[in-house]
Amino acid sequence: MILFPGARIYICGKSKEEGDSCVEKMRKSTKNENIFFIPCDLRSFKSVREFVEAFKKSK
């Protein structure tokens, strides 16, 4: 996996457990702590809006 040093990476997905697991693995393999998970179900407009609001607040 190639990442720019210090890059902020956001991952979205339906499952918080799987997302957190993915973030943990990526942080270990890249040594980058700026990797975050925000839940989002792309089948739901409500979930997408909630993702956008959470993303805006995280910056």
Q: In the chain, where are the structural domains located?
A: 9-58
pLDDT of residue 13: 95
Specify whether the CB–CB gap between 57 and 43 falls below 8 A: no
The answer to whether the predicted template modeling score (pTM) of the entire model surpasses 0.85 is no
Tokens matching residue 4: 């720019």
Extract the residue ranges of the chain whose pLDDT is less than 70: 1-3
Alpha-carbon distance of 19 to 26, in angstroms, equals 10
End-to-end CA distance of the chain: 24
Alpha-carbon distance of 42 to 27, in angstroms, equals 24
pLDDT of residue 50: 97
The residues that bridge with 11 in the sheet, in sequence order, are 37
